[in-house]
């Protein structure tokens, strides 16, 4: 029986679900620049690195489900390299966590806390995990209750948030955020506060550094919901990626301009089994 990744990971109504479709990123002109950010995923960087040092090239999607505590979150990832290679990587070293990281089905790796391992393995042995259904150009889907807990800029009156990021033509992208509130009054308040915050931060320096990315922002209340839309050109995305790369951890892998995921300079093994990246 085909099983959706979120169902496999037993996503609860009060848990967040983040689906990153790297197959979409791989087809985007800026796809290779995503590798360091995927490998810096809070609470999951070491586990993802254990599966692949080049997630954009070697993974089709990653789905993470759980509360805002990495120790309780669960992950599934679709691989696109041969299973023997994945098995060798998983057997070669750990990731410094207590997670059970296994490849129980072809081209599928799961990572879950010990308390969830038996139930997940039982499901994997009786059901085939299908790829998540999504629009062709959807690169990111994040569904979270209480989005204020994840992003302080979102007012607490927003009870649930669904973020979708789409790849667009000419190397662009578009983000759409839907916020559910208790009613029209709360939605109007959320929309007003979000717009005021965007205007506050979008000063001269931010406009210059992001090529006026926030200039295309729209925030519209619609009944009990708020619709936020932010388109971005390729040039704006490149500027944003350059800014964000400065916030990566010191040990994050480097991106080399003009190279693909398999064209990086050779890595050097360290005594920890991790790979050191050249300066």
Residue 177 near residue 188 (C-beta atoms within 8 A):
no
Mean model confidence pLDDT for the chain = 90
Q: Examine the pLDDT at 233 and tell me if it is beyond 80.
A: yes
Report the pLDDT value the prediction gives residue 240, as an integer from 0 to 100.
96
- Which one-letter DSSP state was computed for residue 24? H
How far is residue 221's CA from residue 61's CA, in Å, rounded to a whole number? 32
Residue 136 neighbours by CB under 8 Å, 6+ apart: 24
Report the pLDDT value the prediction gives residue 256, as an integer from 0 to 100.
41
Report the pLDDT value the prediction gives residue 1, as an integer from 0 to 100.
74
How far is residue 248's CA from residue 266's CA, in Å, rounded to a whole number? 21
**Can you tell me which residue has the tokens 């979150």?**
73
Residue 174 near residue 230 (C-beta atoms within 8 A):
yes
How far CA 28 is from CA of 3, 52, 172, 220, in Å, comes to: 28, 20, 9, 29
- Could you tell me the sign of the dihedral formed by the alpha carbons of 166, 168, 172, 174, in that order? negative
The predicted model gives 164-188 an average pLDDT of 98
How far is residue 24's CA from residue 36's CA, in Å, rounded to a whole number? 17
How far is residue 272's CA from residue 88's CA, in Å, rounded to a whole number? 16
- Which one-letter DSSP state was computed for residue 182? S
Residue 159 neighbours by CB under 8 Å, 6+ apart: 145, 146, 180, 181, 182
Structure tokens at 164: 């979708």
The 10 Å Cβ neighbour count of residue 169 is 7
How long is the chain?
279
Q: What is the pLDDT of residues 208-217, one digit of tens each?
A: 999 999 999 9
Q: Examine the pLDDT at 258 and tell me if it is beyond 70.
A: no
Query: Between 178 and 262, where is the model more confident?
Result: 178
How far CA 111 is from CA of 41, 123, 262, in Å, comes to: 14, 14, 25
Residue 121 near residue 76 (C-beta atoms within 8 A):
no
Q: What is the pLDDT of residues 20-67, one digit of tens each?
A: 999 999 999 999 999 999 999 999 999 999 999 999 999 999 999 999
Residue 246 neighbours by CB under 8 Å, 6+ apart: none
Residue 263 neighbours by CB under 8 Å, 6+ apart: 256
């Amino acid at each position: 029986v085909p099983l959706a990744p979120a169902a496999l990971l037993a996503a609860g109504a009060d848990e967040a679900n983040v689906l990153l479709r790297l197959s979409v990123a791989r087809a985007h002109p800026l796809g290779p620049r995503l590798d360091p950010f995927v490998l810096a995923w809070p609470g999951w960087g070491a586990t993802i690195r254990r599966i692949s040092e080049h997630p954009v090239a070697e993974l089709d999607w990653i789905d993470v489900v759980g509360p805002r505590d990495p120790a309780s979150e669960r992950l599934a990832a679709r691989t696109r390299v041969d299973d023997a290679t994945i098995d060798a990587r998983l057997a070669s070293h750990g990731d410094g966590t207590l997670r059970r990281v296994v490849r129980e089905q072809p081209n599928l790796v799961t990572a879950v806390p010990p308390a969830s391992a038996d139930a997940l393995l039982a499901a994997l042995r009786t059901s085939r995990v299908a790829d998540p259904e999504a629009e062709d150009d959807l690169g990111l889907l994040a569904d979270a209750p209480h989005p204020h807990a994840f992003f302080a800029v979102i007012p607490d009156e927003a009870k649930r948030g669904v973020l979708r990021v789409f790849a667009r033509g000419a190397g662009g992208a578009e983000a759409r955020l839907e916020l559910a509130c208790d009613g029209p009054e709360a939605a109007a308040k959320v929309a007003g506060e979000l717009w005021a915050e965007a205007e506050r931060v979008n000063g001269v320096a931010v406009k210059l550094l992001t090529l006026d990315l926030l200039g295309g922002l729209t925030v519209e209340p619609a009944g009990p919901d708020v619709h936020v839309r932010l388109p971005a050109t390729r040039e704006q995305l490149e500027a944003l990626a350059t800014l964000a790369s400065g916030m990566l951890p010191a040990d994050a892998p480097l991106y080399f301009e003009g190279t693909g995921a398999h064209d990086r300079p050779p890595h050097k093994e360290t005594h920890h089994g991790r790979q050191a990246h050249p300066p």
